[in-house]
A and B are shown apart, each in its own frame.
Chain A
């Protein structure tokens, strides 16, 4: 228990990392999703290339790339900023496709009805399409935010004193590396369980209860698609 309380300052850093990353990543994902749906084809290709890099690179490579690469072009970043930018970029890359398909899935008739009422494009999107898209995407977004929480552990690589970095530090000072690491793992686990419990509650509220599939992972998603087909 003492180990857990020692690590609480690290939890604060981890949590603020998580918030900053999501604050950059989710709006960015919406913008990219819109550009993928409605943008000019040159813009689309550019964004596709960018998001494929964001999804194809290991997280660690992106973090190092931002942390050690940016000073080379004259931008000096702290470890915290580097992790937020790197993981924020990856969140944008991963969520852009989620948002694109969510926007696409809102029936075309909704747009046509709005047009018939004389609403402008932006008003249609903000008042009609986006709320529906966000609602449908919320469970998978929450599931993704669990992955973001786990990815903040990469802060250790650039010397950040978040949960992992701090427990490694304490571990090497006190020679009790294992208890501190396990304590860090327990804290991450508690955080992830909180988010995924919240997500499954939300899912039950929004959709018909579906018994077995507790999380929106790819496997079960593809299973449900297959059963639809």
Chain B
């Protein structure tokens, strides 16, 4: 079991990849979502094309496209840098859709009321719409954060020395594939637990402040279906 230490040693790298991609993606997503909901047709169409394209291409292929694409422009990125760029971009389109579905879940009358009051669009968004959309957005972000963590396993195929890469190396050195890859998978599962807890806590805070009790995560939505159904 000495190989377990080798696997655990690269956990920080995986977490770094995940964290940087998620934060960068979340920031880019704001602009993508804004463009997607813009009143300008051109912006809206191009954002839709961008989102649909990135969602339609497998993440692995997207990783390769970004890697080879950057090389084409004469840069020679490290595998880690291009992995972060690719993951951030693919993260941004998913989160943009999360933002959008959260914002469009708020009643239309709310926005109309702010218009009637003559509030500027930005203030109405920040003060009125977003606080109501927040539970749904946070639930979606939590789900996607877990998905993204599992997605980072793909960067090993690009040559980044992460958990899967080390696991693969260990198996080539003659370790038992069954136990090594099971341990690697378990590490990912365990890493997901704190993310799920944080997502749930953030949802709870919102409820206590008196926001409407929206869906927090899958388990809760299941019980909510039972209650309403």
A interface list, Cβ under 8 A from B: 52-53, 56-62, 64-65, 67-73, 101, 105, 150-154, 156-157, 163-164, 167-168, 171, 177-178, 181-182, 184-185, 188-189, 192-193, 212-213, 217-223, 225-229
Contact = CB atoms under 8 A, between A and B. Distances in A.
Interface string B163-200: 01001100100001110011011001100100000000
Contacts of B56: 188-189, 192-193
From B58, B178, B184, name the one whose CB has the most chain A CB atoms within 10 angstroms. B58
Nearest to A67: B177
A153 B61 contact: yes
Contact of A65 (B105, B177, B215): B177
Nearest to A56: B189
A145 to B, nearest CB: 13
Q: Ordered nearest first, which 5 A-B pairs have the shortest CB separation?
A: A68-B177, A69-B178, A58-B153, A57-B185, A189-B56
Of B62, B213, B215, B221, chain A has the most CB atoms within 10 Å of the CB of: B215
A178 B72 contact: yes
A227 B65 contact: no
A219 B136 contact: yes
Contacts of B182: 65, 69
A219 B102 contact: yes
B59 interface: yes
Given A185-B61, A222-B221, A61 B68 contact: no
Contacts of A152: 58
Contact of A213 (B101, B188, B228): B101
Contact of B136 (A68, A156, A188, A226): A226
Interface in B183-229: 184-185, 188-189, 192, 212-215, 218, 221-222, 224-225, 227-229
Contacts of B176: 69, 72
Given A193-B52, A193-B56, A218-B143, A164 B178 contact: no
A217 B164 contact: no
Nearest to A69: B178
24 contacts: A58-B151, A58-B152, A58-B164, A58-B188, A59-B150, A61-B167, A68-B171, A153-B61, A177-B64, A178-B65, A181-B68, A185-B65, A189-B52, A189-B57, A212-B104, A218-B140, A219-B139, A222-B214, A223-B101, A225-B221, A226-B212, A227-B105, A228-B228, A229-B214
Nearest to B69: A178
Interface string B38-70: 000000000000001101111111101100110
B28 interface: no
B157 A157 contact: yes
Interface residues of B, number: 60
A205 to B, nearest CB: 22
A193 B60 CA distance: 18
Contacts of A59: 150, 153
Contact of A64 (B62, B151, B168, B221): B168
Contact of B192 (A56, A153, A178): A56
Contact of A225 (B55, B104, B152, B215): B215
Given A68-B177, A70-B178, A185-B62, 18 more contacts: A56-B188, A56-B192, A60-B154, A60-B164, A69-B178, A72-B177, A153-B61, A157-B157, A164-B58, A164-B60, A167-B61, A171-B68, A177-B71, A178-B68, A178-B72, A223-B102, A223-B105, A225-B225
B10 to A, nearest CB: 14
Contact of A71 (B71, B153, B177, B225): B177
